[in-house]
């Protein structure tokens, strides 16, 4: 049985794996916005993506835990995905605030002229 330090390192590695999958799916979503697809194509892309993502996560789990399923790896991957999603939402919110403030400053400077 692994010590708590090893389990913590594996948990962080699992979180990184979850972040990787989350951002890869985000990139796929961006590609879909640039090149619109039919719902059948989107379904096929999702099937291929999630098959590949599950293979990637299985490989990461297998390599990190020496072939045994550890639930803290699954929990770490889920937590990593949640952290990545929350980070994207936070960045979007900060970006909106920045652009609203910049827009107001530009409007105020135009009114003074």
* H-helix or E-strand spanning residue 31: helix 4-34
pTM above 0.85, yes or no: no
Q: Cα separation of 30 and 23, whole Å?
A: 10
User: What was the pLDDT predicted at 77?
Assistant: 94
Q: Cα separation of 43 and 54, whole Å?
A: 16
- If one counts every other C-beta atom within 10 angstroms of the C-beta of residue 40, the result is 8
Mention every residue, 6+ apart, whose C-beta is less than 8 A from residue 64: 10, 13, 14, 73
User: What was the pLDDT predicted at 106?
Assistant: 64
User: What was the pLDDT predicted at 3?
Assistant: 81
CB 2, CB 10: distance < 8 Å: yes
Residue stretches of the chain with pLDDT short of 50: none
User: What was the pLDDT predicted at 37?
Assistant: 87
């Amino acid at each position: 049985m692994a010590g708590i330090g090893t389990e913590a390192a594996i948990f962080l590695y699992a979180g990184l794996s979850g972040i990787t999958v989350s951002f890869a799916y985000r990139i796929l979503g961006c590609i879909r916005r640039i090149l619109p697809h039919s719902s059948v194509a989107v379904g096929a892309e999702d099937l291929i993506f999630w098959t590949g993502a599950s293979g990637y996560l299985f490989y990461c789990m297998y390599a990190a835990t020496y072939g045994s399923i550890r639930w803290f790896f699954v929990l770490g991957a889920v937590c990593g995905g949640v952290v990545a999603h929350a980070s994207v939402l936070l960045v979007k919110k900060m970006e909106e605030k920045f652009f609203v403030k910049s827009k107001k400053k530009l409007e105020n400077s135009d009114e003074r002229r």
